[in-house]
Each structure stands twice: as C-alpha cells, then as structure tokens.
C-alpha cells in the first residue's frame, strides 16, 4: 500500500475511533441538558419531588463544578426546602454557597447572594436554629434582596415570636406591612400576627379577628394550603378554650387543606400533633395514635425540634388517657426538655402542669 494511502487509512481509523468514543458523550451531554430543562420546568410547576428525582439524574451528566451542575444544585435546594427535607436542602444549598464563596463575586452563576441567604434561612428556620435563621435573613436584607422584603421581615417576626419575644415580633410584622407588595403579603401579616404573636399570648379574640381575615383572603385567592395553616391556628384557639369538638372539626378541615399538595410535609406536621391533642380530648384515642405515628414518620425527615416536642406532648397525653402513667411521665418529661431547648418556656410550663397532674 502506498505510504500516502496508508496515512489516509490510519487517519480515518483514528477519526472513526474518536467518533465512537465521542458520540456517547455528546448523547450524554444532550440528555443532561434536556434533564436540566426538565428540572427547571418541574420547579416552576411546583413539582418538588420531581425536581429532586430528575435533578439527581441531571447531575450525573454534568462536570462537577460547572455552571449547569451548580444551578441544578440550586434548583434542587429550593425544592428540598419546599418539601421540608432539611438534609437535602442543606446539602444542595451549601454546595452552591461554597461555589459562590470560592468565586468571591459570584462568578458566572445567576444566583443572587441575598436569595441564597434567604433560602438557607428557611433551612435554619425549619430546624428551629433561630439565631442562625435570623442572621441569614438579616444578611438577605443587607444584600439588597428587596423583592421579598415584606416576606423576609415577616419571617424574622415569626422567628422572634418563636422565641417568645413578642414585642420585637410585633414591631417586625408592622414593618413588614409597610413593604407589602400585594394581597398575599397583607394576608401573611394577619396570619402571622394572629397565629404566631397574639394566640401564644392567650389573646384569643384578637388572634381570631386577624386569623379570620387572613383565611378569608387566602381562600379568595385560591391559596388553600396557606388557608389550611390559618385554620389550624383557629383549631388551636378552640383547643385552648376547651372546645375539643370544634377543635377536631377545624383541625381535620385544616389537614384536608394542607394535604391538597401530597408532599407538604411541613404543613401536615403543623396540623397533626394539634389534631391528635384535640382527638384525645374527644376520646378518639385510636385516631390520635395514628396521627402521632404519622407525625413521627414525617419528622424523621423534617427534623423539627419544636414539632418533635409537640409530638412527645401529644404522646404523653395519649398515654395518660390510656392509663399508662409511667409512659406518660416519660413522654411529658421529654417534651418539657425539648420545649426548653427551643426557647418555649411558657409551653414547657403547660406541659409541666400535665406532668404534675398525673397520679402518684
């Protein structure tokens, strides 16, 4: 074979081999790109479980540290927060945070630092790390994240209310109202003031006035899940007035509202321990036990310390209603410790009254 022909044959062979090796990579990149688009579409549609499923596949097709790889983590982190999956949320959002820190100015990523702090603040809030949550939301405001200023101030108010600093919470809520961007912010103000500030102080009539306004507004806008949380607060108010039948009715309706989205673990967890307490009050102990078991399962993922304390409180009351005094004593003592740990001394005192009321 002439030398020139041999060279041509050799070049063609090498090119063919390269094509064989390159084509799967091209297909892989094309598939990853399609998956990336699917992740964005799922996030926009509120299909948060699908975001995590498809995002995990997309990540396999991207180079670690590349912009698509990091943006996929960014979208997955947001979805995990919406699912109250704190472990996944922390992993994905801290991956993005590490990238932004390394780039110093944010690099090529289309992620505003204020938005990142905002989402990380919600992770800390879900975990009841109140100091960290307040710090992150303050950083979000300082970074100029003005698009959701009313919401951020309102959440800061709820953080302070969670720590029973009600005067500070009320001030922040009033400030949030000054930055209201529309009806949702207005309804959020009334819901937070009624449910998080007034109700825990025993100002039930005032609380119900704000809660009724919030629920009506949410329902008019079709915001059923938000309305469900407000109705749960109304159920809590009925429970505190000793009207267990009304509390059961309202809390069962609230559970129906918050579970219109099947993956709303945080909303379901907000209702379940309260509903269990109400059902114990009406003597429906079997149903109450099911609520407590379901809440325990959900909280294994969400890892909310305050919710864990409420579950233990409900479990203690259930044990007491069944005459299992030793178990009741153990559960209630544990609830007291956990409420103290999340800076809920007034609630801990109510649980202690239950404990002291046990026989022997």
Q: Which of 91, 88, 85, 111 is nearest to 100 (CA)?
A: 111
Q: Is the pLDDT of residue 270 over 80?
A: yes
Average pLDDT, the chain: 88
pLDDT of 23 reads 43
Q: Say yes or no: do domains 146-222 and 235-343 share a fold.
A: yes
Q: Write the class of the CATH domain 146-222.
A: mainly alpha
Higher per-residue pLDDT: 26 or 165: 165
The band of 146, judged by pLDDT with boundaries at 50, 70 and 90, is low
pLDDT tens-digit profile of 237-253?
999 999 999 999 999 99
pLDDT of 103 reads 65
The band of 22, judged by pLDDT with boundaries at 50, 70 and 90, is very low
Q: Which of 76, 73, 122, 134 is nearest to 99 (CA)?
A: 73
Q: Give the residue ranges of DSSP H helices in 163-304.
A: 166-178, 183-192, 204-220, 224-240, 244-258, 265-282, 285-302
Q: Write the class of the CATH domain 235-343.
A: mainly alpha
Buried/exposed 276-292: b ≥16 CB within 10 Å, e otherwise: bbbbbbeebeebbbebb
Percent of the chain with pLDDT over 70: 88
The band of 171, judged by pLDDT with boundaries at 50, 70 and 90, is very high
pLDDT tens-digit profile of 24-65?
445 455 667 788 888 889 888 888 999 999 999 888 888 888
pLDDT of 4 reads 52
Residue 267 contacts residue 228 (beta carbons within 8 Å): yes
SS (H, E, C) 28-84: HHHHHHHHHHHHHHHHHCCCHHHHHHHHHHHHHCCCCCCHHHHHHHHHHHHHHHHCC
Residue 150 contacts residue 176 (beta carbons within 8 Å): yes
What are the structural domain ranges in the chain? 37-105, 146-222, 235-343
- 344 Cβ contact list (under 8 Å, min separation 6): 162, 164, 306, 309
Whether the predicted model's global pTM rises above the 0.85 cut = no
Q: Which of 41, 77, 35, 82 is nearest to 57 (CA)?
A: 35
**CA 202, 206, 207 angle in degrees (round to 5)?**
65
- Integer Cα distance of 165 and 159 in angstroms: 9
The band of 196, judged by pLDDT with boundaries at 50, 70 and 90, is very high
- Integer Cα distance of 304 and 314 in angstroms: 15
Lowest mean pLDDT among 123-127, 143-147, 219-223, 293-297: 143-147
Q: Is the pLDDT of residue 259 over 80?
A: yes
pLDDT of 111 reads 74
- Integer Cα distance of 94 and 21 in angstroms: 35
Buried/exposed 239-264: b ≥16 CB within 10 Å, e otherwise: beeebbebbbebbbbbbebbbebebb
pLDDT tens-digit profile of 202-216?
999 999 999 999 999
Q: Is the pLDDT of residue 3 over 70?
A: no
Q: Is the pLDDT of residue 267 over 60?
A: yes
- Integer Cα distance of 275 and 262 in angstroms: 18
pLDDT of 16 reads 45
pLDDT of 28 reads 53
Q: Is the pLDDT of residue 320 over 60?
A: yes
- Integer Cα distance of 222 and 216 in angstroms: 10
Average pLDDT for 147-156 = 88
Average pLDDT for 99-109 = 60
Average pLDDT for 80-96 = 92
Residue 277 contacts residue 314 (beta carbons within 8 Å): yes
């Amino acid at each position: 074979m002439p030398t020139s022909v041999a060279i041509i044959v050799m070049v063609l062979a090498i090119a063919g081999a390269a094509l064989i090796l390159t084509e799967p990579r091209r297909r892989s990149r094309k598939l990853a790109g399609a998956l990336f688009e699917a992740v964005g579409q799922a996030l926009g549609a509120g299909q948060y479980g699908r975001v995590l499923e498809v995002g995990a596949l997309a990540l396999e097709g991207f180079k670690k540290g590349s912009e698509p790889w990091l943006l996929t983590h960014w979208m997955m982190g947001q979805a995990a927060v919406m699912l109250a999956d704190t472990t996944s949320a922390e992993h994905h959002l801290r991956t993005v945070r590490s990238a932004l820190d390394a780039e110093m100015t944010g690099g090529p990523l289309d992620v505003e630092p204020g938005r990142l702090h905002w989402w990380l603040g919600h992770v800390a809030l879900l975990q009841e790390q109140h100091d960290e949550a307040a710090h992150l939301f303050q950083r979000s405001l300082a970074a100029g994240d003005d698009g959701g200023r009313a919401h951020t101030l309102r959440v800061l108010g709820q953080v302070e209310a969670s720590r029973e600093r009600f005067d500070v919470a009320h001030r922040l809520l009033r400030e949030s109202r000054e930055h209201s961007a529309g009806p949702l912010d207005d309804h959020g103000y009334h819901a937070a003031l009624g449910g998080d500030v007034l109700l825990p102080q025993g100002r039930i009539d005032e609380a119900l006035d704000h809660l009724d306004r919030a629920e009506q507004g949410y329902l008019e806008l079709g915001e059923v899940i938000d309305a469900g949380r407000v109705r749960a607060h109304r159920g809590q108010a009925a429970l505190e007035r000793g009207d267990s039948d009304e509390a059961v009715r309202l809390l069962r309706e609230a559970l129906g509202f918050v579970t219109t989205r099947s993956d709303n673990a945080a909303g379901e967890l907000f209702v379940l321990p309260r509903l269990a307490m109400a059902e114990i009050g009406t003597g429906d102990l079997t149903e109450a036990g099911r609520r407590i078991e379901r809440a325990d399962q959900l909280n294994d993922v969400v890892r909310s310390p305050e919710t864990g304390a409420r579950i233990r409180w409900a479990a203690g009351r259930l044990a007491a209603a069944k005459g299992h005094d030793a178990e009741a004593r153990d559960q209630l003592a544990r609830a007291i410790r956990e409420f103290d740990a999340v800076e809920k001394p007034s609630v801990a005192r109510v649980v202690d009254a239950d404990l002291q009321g046990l026989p022997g």
